[in-house]
Amino acid sequence: MIIPCIDLMGGKVVQLVQGREKALEGGSPLEMLERFAAFPQIQVIDLDAAMGRGSNDDLVELLASRAVARIGGGVRSPERARLLIEQGAHRVIVGTAAFDRSLLKEIADAVNPERLIIALDSKSGKVVVKGWQESTAFTAEQVIRQLEPYCSGFLCTYVDKEGMMQGTDLDWFRRLRAATKHELTAAGGITTQEEIGELRKLEIHAALGMAIYTGKLSLETLAQL
């Protein structure tokens, strides 16, 4: 499955390079929803909430009510996760909070592990948290199996190539696929149909951002894959 991404910052749809530098702005959230209407799901990330500098709650709620959406960014309490589900989120993505095991259990209990996706974002080989601003001491491969009871899938972003249009690291995704039978979604640098094809062979979904916002990959072509 191909999942277009809507990343929100300051009330706008944006694309960042490696989670830091804003590279471009998209259309309004509703314009982007219309552009992505041919796809079964979208992914919505509130970047301000992820970085702890505000939120885009109204836009998140609007998108959750109008599309089958997996939503993340700043989900650090069971109350927040439950609210997103009540607002219409199909599934909730948890990143930083996943590494506080008692908190993760509370969140999973609040919404049911079937509705939870854990973000395992990797930079320079290590999992990064707090909007990719803080590095941990472990790799995604080391922790993925321990986290399986709390979720139904993992969103794995190869941050080193995020937004750079230079391709992704398929070997990393192969290692992750070997480490878990849970659903996997790949993100970060996916630029070509060939990469999407390789991920599909591994039964890994592809979350796409920069490649579709720049027109490198055609939405019309992707919708037919």
- Catalytic positions, please? 7, 121
What b-and-e string marks burial along 10-39, b requiring 16 or more CB atoms within 10 Å of the CB?
eeebbbbebbeeebeebeebeebbebbeeb
Select from 144, 146, 138 the least CA-distant residue to 175: 144
Per the DSSP assignment, residues forming a β-bridge with 14 are 7, 25
- CA dist 88 → 50, 63, 140, 189 (Å): 20, 9, 29, 29
Cα four-point dihedral sign 25, 157, 204, 151: negative
- Rg of the Cα atoms in the chain: 16
C-beta separation of 62 from 24 below 8 A: no
Backbone conformation region of residue 79, classed left if phi is above 0, alpha if psi is from -120 to 50, else beta: alpha
Distance of CA 218 to the CA centre of its chain: 20
| CA dist., res. 9 & res. 224, Å (int) | 30
